[in-house]
Amino acid sequence: HGSSFAQPSALFKEPLTILMKLNTITLICLLSHFTLGALSWAEESMDQMWGDTSVQETAALPARAEFFDHSNYGMFIHWGLYSHLGGQWKGETFYGIGEWIKRQMKISDEDYMAIAEEFNPVAFDAEDIVRTAKAAGMKYIIITSKHHEGFAMFDSEHPFNIVDATPFGRDPMKELAEACRAAGLGFGFYYSHYQDWTSPGAHGGPKENPDGSEASFERYFREKCYPQVKEICTNYGPLSFVWFDTPGSMPKEFVSELVELVRETQPDALLCSRVGHGMGDYRSLGDMEVPVKNHEGLWETCDTTNDSWSYAWYDQNWKDAKTILNRLVSTVGRGGSYLLNVGPDGQGCVPPAATEYLVEAGQWLQNHPGVVYRAGPSPWGMALPWGDVTVQGDHLNLVVFEWPQDRRIHLSGLKQAEIVSAGLRSHDGDLEPLKWTQEGTWLSIDGGELDADQIAGLATVLELELKAVPVVDATLGVHPNLPTLLPAAFAEVENAVQKRIGWMEKFGEWKHVTQVGEWKPGGTATWKIDLAEAGDYYVELTYRGEGRPVWTVKTDEGDFLQNQQAATQGYQSYRFGLIDFKTPGKHTISVSLIEGDRVASSLESIRIVPAR
């Protein structure tokens, strides 16, 4: 929903001056053939479009943040004129995020604004959407009041709005706000404050006013943006959120005016970091980004139930209930809140598959509310091979998505004296005690006596009660009965560059990864690990690049692997061989690039797989 390109870095500015005039989809296809630097450029360009999306550091959370911090799960809704098109214009399909169809298919303002005459979402039912959100376990709804296309989905003085310009003639935002309040859900608005493709002077809009004079951003701001933000802040009751997007290079004085307006009219509303200039209450990560590493402070991940944010006729790549639940728990386990999007179609209906999987995940959540609500991040700082962990006081919620064959769940770094009890939280809420043992730094919970029904379903919850809030040695534990992923984000790097990059699989479908690249001679990425059991382990590398790079893997015990495998433009996993760890406990394992393109070669992770 926020995808765009701004100015390229200096390295690419000259060759891309002409390319920027091409259709952005063509540009992306060309960029996909570039090396790692092109991927970094894509991420930097996205950051420029978002602008300064940092947040001010404060010693104490504002009172309005408590609702956000405790809820941890909300519904995002992308709905507008683009929903009527559904990803298709004049018989041609746009295979990117649907809300960008006007820009990417170069639909004229006249043609696009005429779509409003056909937009009549008579099947829209605010109460039905709220019922779905509640059944999914969500605590609030945020909906697009005006996206980059410039069309207001509410009753506005500006005529390009759903009440005045369509045969529908109703204000669905008022209906949804009232339905949320009646159901006890929080409610908020998305508003695109910098981009507006049909308004002269706005970013992406016409360069001239209707009278032929030069358009200015200030005129757009004074005549449309500020008045509409005032409308959504004063006409729809109490708001929990005002979610601005893509601040880009919007001057700080204008952002400040919007922030002051929200603070004055909606003192309990939270602003996400995409308002710009560090004025948000919490940070919004990159689109579709569930981080692999814990983040400090208040933050959210905004994700979507398929690939597009708005409805697209062809997009049937729905996240099933287990995937939704896994990404929700992983986000809470990293310390954040999960904002999951649905895209109603042109009739106003949420696609049935999205509803089905949301509700299925919500049924599980009703039985295990403590896993998400008021839950804190995992002290291990990352997902574990069998699932993830959230914390409530002196209780650990171990959410098992993949049971190992021996049905033993391992944890590294906990001391025996801190543990009071371990048990399985059954589907009907009962707690069945489980046996546990301690060997060195490792805790092992024995689920061998559990029957198939007890561990069936989307996930299983084991609860550990401790004598105090857990303190964990977060050295990366290598498990003896499941593959262990070691992301590059946790490596110590020398003579190479460790940084976060991003790219689009197709337009607007963002992928993000922290990787190690720009290798110099002698460059290494090293992980500190805690091995539960000695023995043979396969080592797999996940990387991208060009040609046939040669990598070396070494341990502190002197074992090493060296092998050559072909690289691809996308990240692929390759098994490099078998390493014998002679002793359990603390070790190091490092990776170096011996031969190959030192710029293009990008290491995303290694994986250690028990041979037996």
pLDDT of residue 125: 98
- Tens digits of residue pLDDT in 325-374: 999 999 999 999 999 999 999 999 999 999 999 999 999 999 999 999 99
Q: Are 84 and 313 in contact (CB under 8 A)?
A: no
Token pair, residue 296, equals 């400090």
Please, which contacts does 362-370 make with residues 24 or more away whose CB atoms are closer than 8 Å?
Answer: 362/135, 362/136, 362/137, 362/138, 363/135, 364/321, 364/325, 364/457, 364/458, 364/459, 365/136, 365/137, 365/325, 366/137, 367/427, 367/428, 367/429, 368/397, 368/399, 368/425, 368/461, 369/137, 370/395, 370/397
Burial of 352 (0-12, 13-18, 19+ CB in 10 A): exposed
Strands 460-466 and 395-400: antiparallel
- Tens digits of residue pLDDT in 386-433: 999 999 988 999 999 999 999 999 999 987 668 899 999 987 778 899
Strands 492-494 and 524-531: antiparallel
Q: What angle do CA 559, 565, 571 make, to 5 degrees?
A: 105
The whole-number average pLDDT for the span 580-599 is: 97
Residue type, 160: F
- Tens digits of residue pLDDT in 132-169: 999 999 999 999 999 999 999 999 999 999 999 999 99
pLDDT of residue 474: 86
pLDDT of residue 2: 66
* Lookup result for tokens 């179609």: 345
pLDDT classification of 54: cutoffs 50, 70, 90: confident
The whole-number average pLDDT for the span 551-555 is: 98
Please report the beta strands in 373-523, taking only residues with DSSP state E, as ranges in sequence order.
387-392, 395-400, 408-412, 419-425, 431-433, 435-439, 442-446, 460-466, 476-478, 484-487, 492-494, 497-504, 510-517
State the DSSP string of 23-79: -HHHHHHHHTTS-HHHHHHHHHHHHHHH----B---SS--TTHHHHHHH-EEEEE--
3-state secondary structure of 217: helix
Q: Could you tell me which of 392, 361, 547, 543 has the C-alpha nearest to residue 459?
A: 361
Please report the beta strands in 85-177, taking only residues with DSSP state E, as ranges in sequence order.
88-89, 92-93, 140-146
CA distance 256 to 275: 9
State the DSSP string of 339-405: EEEE---TTSPPPHHHHHHHHHHHHHHHH-GGGTTT-B--TTSS-BTTEEEEEETTEEEEEESS--T
pLDDT classification of 63: cutoffs 50, 70, 90: confident
CA distance 194 to 200: 12
Burial of 2 (0-12, 13-18, 19+ CB in 10 A): buried
pLDDT classification of 49: cutoffs 50, 70, 90: low
Task: Quote the pTM value.
Answer: 0.92
pLDDT of residue 57: 57
Q: Are 595 and 535 in contact (CB under 8 A)?
A: no
Residue type, 391: V
pLDDT of residue 426: 85
Beta bridge partners of 353: none
